[in-house]
Structure 1
Amino acid sequence: MKRFVTLGTVGFLLFTVTGCGGPDALMREFIVHLNGYAETLEKKESRDKQAGALERVKSTIEKIDKLKLSQEEREKLITKYDGEFKKAKERVETAQKTYLMDGGVATDFPDLFGGFVKPK
């Protein structure tokens, strides 16, 4: 519970301190939501909570897509947050594997990273 409250607080602060939803704020929000999704898997929370966390990740991706960044701007953004993004991505992938190995329901985990990282 402490982790969830801390994660929510950090996400809220990052979002409000940087202004209204520019690329940097959205990228931080994306990373926070990825970690939140991984946490629901790690704790083996209900499917509803996992679906909610996953929906927050997807909505943030949609917000980033609505900015219509050029490929160059998108690459700069990804490069700027590369370390944090990689850690979050690895955490999600590890949590998915562990969840399934520990007897979690085998569902299709969506590819959250392909559409965001690769050019459209």
Structure 2
Amino acid sequence: MFVLELCRFVLELCRFVLELCRFVLELCRFVLELCRFVLELCRFVLELCRFVLELCRFVIELCRFVLELCRFVLELCRFVLELCRFVLELCRWHRLWALERSVRAWGQMAGRL
């Protein structure tokens, strides 16, 4: 009788341990799937970071190009400004020359009178 009860107890204990093992196995499967998900998420984030890095590199190059373009336009504006100053100076000299001729002409006319 005692041996039979002991066997039943051991059998129940084995069933309990078996159920516990099944539970642990399911838990391990869940953790494994969770790890796979996290791994895929990390891969996605890594690819996203690579994309953002490439985008940043492109934007930096674009900014460099725009900066060089602005420098070129600035130099062009400086050249045009100097050209305008030169033309303005030519106009001043032309006006002075025309005024001088006009004064001489009036002087000559006054001398004739």
Pick the structure with more helix per residue. 2
Q: TM-score by structure 1 length?
A: 0.21
Q: TM-score by structure 2 length?
A: 0.22
| Structure with the larger RCO, 1 or 2 (CA within 8 Å, 6+ apart) | 1
